[in-house]
C-alpha cells in the first residue's frame, strides 16, 4: 500500500480465558483482515457478570495475549458490549469475531451496533477446542485425582491435558518461538545438541523431574556448561490452574 494510505486497524475483543490455539487461530485470521491487530480484553468483573468466573486473572490473560504472534496492541478492561464509539476511540476501522453468536447476559447481540455501522467482520471459529471444553477436562481431572485433604496428589498423573498436536499449535502461536521439535524426548541428548547446533538449554524455576532410572534429563547440557535457569515472572503452572478449578468447582 502507498505510504499515504491509512493502515487498517482490526479490533478483536473477548475474554481469552486459559488462552488456547483456538484463540490464537482467531487472532491469526483477524490479523489477515488488516494491518494492525488490536486485541481488547474484558475485565474479570465483566466476565463474571456475563459468563461466570474466569480461571485466569486479568494480568495473566493480558500477558498471554501479548505473547501471541499476530497481536500488535492489547487494550485492557473493555466492556462486553462493543460500541462504535469504543472502536473510534481506539482508532479501529473494523471489528472481527468468530462465526458463533455472542450474546450479553441480557441476550442482546454484543456486536449489534458495529454490525449496523457496517464495521463487523467474521472469521471461522476453530472446531474442537474451547475454554469450556478445557475446563470440563480439568474438572474431570480434579474429580478423579483430588480429595479434599490431598490436593497435591495428582502430580504426574493424567497429564497432558491436550494432545501433542494441540500442544504444538499452542507453542507455535507464541511470538518468541521460531521452531518446534515435535515429540522431542524427555532427555536432552548429546546428539540432539550437536544436530540442532544448540548454544543454550534453558529451564524455568519449576522442579525438574528425573527419568525413571533416576538420571537427570539435563545431564548432557549441564556437562557442556550450556544449561541455564531463567525466571518466567509468573507462578502459573498447570497444577496452579487445577488447584483454582478445584477450589471453585461448585461455581462452574
Ligand atoms: N474463538 C475461536 N475459536 C475457538 C474459540 C474462540 O475462533 N475455538 C474466538 C471467538 O469467536 C472470539 C475470540 O476467539 O472471537 C475470543 O473468544 P472468547 O471471548 O474468549 O470466548 P469464547 O468464544 O467463548 O471462547 P471459548 O469457548 O474458548 O471460551
Separation CA 120–CA 201 (nearest Å): 45
> Which CATH code fits 131-251?
3.40.50.620
Q: Quick one: pLDDT band at residue 251, thresholds 50, 70, 90?
A: confident
Of 238 and 171, more confident: 171
**CB under 6 Å to ligand 1: residues?**
12, 14-17, 22-23, 26, 97-98, 100, 125-126, 129-132
Q: What is the mean pLDDT of residues 55-72?
A: 97
186 in Cβ contact with 203 (< 8 Å): no
Q: What's the average model confidence in pLDDT over 151-180?
A: 80
Q: Work out which ligand 1 atom sits closest to the CA atom of 25.
A: 7
Q: Point out the ligand 1 atom lying closest to the alpha carbon of residue 125.
A: 7
Consecutive H or E run containing 96 = strand 94-98
Where in the chain are the domains? 9-123, 131-251
- Is the pTM higher than 0.80? The answer reads yes
| pLDDT tens, residue by residue, 192-243 | 999 999 999 999 999 999 999 999 999 999 999 999 999 999 999 988 999 9
Ligand 1 mutation target, pool 75, 98, 129, 173, most atoms within 8 A of CB: 98
Read off the pLDDT of residues 131-159 as tens digits, 9 standing for 90 and up: 999 999 888 888 776 554 454 444 455 67
Q: According to CATH, what is the number of the domain 9-123?
A: 3.40.50.620
Please tell me if the domain spanning 9-123 has the same topology as the one spanning 131-251: yes
Amino acid at each position: 500500500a502507498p505510504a499515504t494510505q491509512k493502515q487498517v486497524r482490526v479490533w478483536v475483543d473477548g475474554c481469552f480465558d486459559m488462552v488456547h490455539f483456538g484463540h490464537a487461530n482467531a487472532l491469526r485470521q483477524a490479523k489477515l483482515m488488516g494491518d494492525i491487530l488490536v486485541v481488547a480484553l474484558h475485565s474479570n468483573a465483566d466476565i463474571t457478570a456475563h459468563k461466570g468466573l474466569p480461571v485466569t486473572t486479568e494480568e495473566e490473560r493480558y500477558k498471554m495475549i501479548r505473547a501471541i504472534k499476530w497481536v500488535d496492541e492489547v487494550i485492557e478492561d473493555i466492556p462486553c458490549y462493543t460500541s462504535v464509539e469504543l472502536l473510534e476511540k481506539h482508532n479501529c476501522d473494523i471489528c472481527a469475531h468468530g462465526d458463533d453468536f455472542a450474546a450479553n447476559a441480557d441476550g442482546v447481540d454484543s456486536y449489534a451496533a458495529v454490525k449496523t455501522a457496517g464495521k463487523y467482520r467474521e472469521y471461522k471459529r476453530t472446531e474442537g477446542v474451547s475454554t469450556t471444553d478445557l475446563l470440563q477436562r480439568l474438572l474431570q481431572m480434579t474429580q478423579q485425582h483430588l480429595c479434599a485433604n490431598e490436593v497435591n496428589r495428582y502430580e504426574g498423573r493424567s497429564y497432558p491435558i491436550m494432545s501433542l498436536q494441540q500442544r504444538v499449535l499452542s507453542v507455535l502461536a507464541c511470538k518468541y518461538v521460531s521452531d518446534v521439535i515435535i515429540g522431542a524426548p524427555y532427555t536432552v541428548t548429546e546428539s540432539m545438541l550437536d544436530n540442532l547446533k544448540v548454544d543454550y538449554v534453558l529451564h524455568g524455576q519449576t522442579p525438574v523431574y528425573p527419568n525413571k532410572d533416576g538420571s537427570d534429563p539435563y545431564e548432557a547440557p549441564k556437562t557442556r556448561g550450556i544449561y541455564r535457569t531463567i525466571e518466567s515472572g509468573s507462578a502459573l503452572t498447570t497444577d496452579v490452574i487445577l488447584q483454582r478449578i478445584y477450589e471453585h468447582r461448585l461455581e462452574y
